[in-house]
Amino acid sequence: MQSSFPTAPLRVTLVQNQAGDNRLANLAWIEQALPSDLATDLIVLPELFACRGSDEQYRAQAEALDGPLSAWLGALAHRNRAWVLAGSVLEREGAQIYNTTLLFNRAGKLASTYRKIHLFEAHLENGTFIRERDLYQAGDQPVLVSIDSWCAGLSICYDVRFPELYRHYTRHGAHLLLIPANFTQRTGRDHWEVLVRARAIENQCFVLAPDQCGANPHTHSLSYGHSLAIGPWGETLAAAADTPTVLQVTLEPERLRATRACVPALAHRRL
């Protein structure tokens, strides 16, 4: 496991939006919601930030990674001289569609991609049935990235229920876990904060978890909101309510050092 710590703080901006089925309107809202004098190192967007709708609309909007949405994301990164973590986009590769995270560097270049490994399935009490494998192909590769001096593990939403993914990241030196989401309101009420804080505590990492809020205009499924930035002790650094908002927080390397020195659990692993 990597023993070094980040060399500088990381200024982070988390966006919680309420995406509808009009991609241009969704992107315009994000642009106006970000402060004009934004000073940040990393902008983190939630899962499906650019569009929520029906499976038919998702199929129609899916595009290759060199498409118009990537161009918009690259321009956002370049304009703000910041890394941009696009929580997820609808990636088309041949006949397959993936739910894919994109990471752009400060120059606006695509630096890394992660395809969602665990595909959500749930029978909710109001009769709603969600099965992502009807639309998406699952990814099969964990992805660690370097964001300045920070080692970060990528994931999306339902992945948060699978702690082995995050333990893999910690074994390989992660300081930061990224969990952009479109968590349902029903599961979010009982599980969201518990799961996000657990991933932080057990891995002694920072966790950034921007979530969607409001209703999908076609399925009427409600997203939970309550985006979170959690410290390695499990402390809440920033939290949203259930409406569109922008959170800003600074991650301090000293919090990692202090947590891992106080309870050296990562050094005590037996399995």
> For the residues 108-134, what does the mean pLDDT come to?
89
Q: By the 8 A CB rule, do 172 and 146 touch? A: no
* Separation CA 57–CA 204 (nearest Å): 39
Instruction: Give the pLDDT score at 2.
Output: 46
Q: Is 220 or 40 the better-scoring residue by pLDDT?
A: 40
Digit-coded pLDDT (tens) for 15-64: 999 999 999 999 999 999 999 999 999 999 999 999 999 999 999 999 99
Q: What does the alpha-carbon distance between residue 17 and residue 212 come to, in Å, rounded to a whole number?
A: 5
Q: What is the pLDDT of residue 217?
A: 94
State the pLDDT at residue 123: 81
User: What's the chain's average pLDDT?
Assistant: 96
pLDDT at 237 over 80: yes
Query: Where does the chain have alpha helices with state H?
Result: 23-33, 55-61, 68-80, 163-171, 185-187, 193-203, 253-262
Domain locations along the chain: 10-268
Architecture of domain 10-268: 4-Layer Sandwich (3.60)
**Residue 22 to residues 48, 78, 87, 216: CA-CA distances in angstroms?**
12, 24, 18, 12
User: 228: burial class by Cβ within 10 Å (0-12, 13-18, 19+)?
Assistant: buried
DSSP 89-135: EEEEETTEEEEEEEEE-TTS-EEEEEE--SPPEEE-TTS-EEEGGGT
pTM: 0.96
Residue 259 near residue 232, CB atoms below 8 Å: yes
pLDDT at 50: 98
Higher pLDDT, 109 or 124: 109
* Catalytic residue list: 47, 116, 157
- What is the per-residue pLDDT for 128? 74
Does pLDDT of 1 surpass 60?
Answer: no
User: Is the pLDDT reported for residue 252 higher than 90?
Assistant: yes
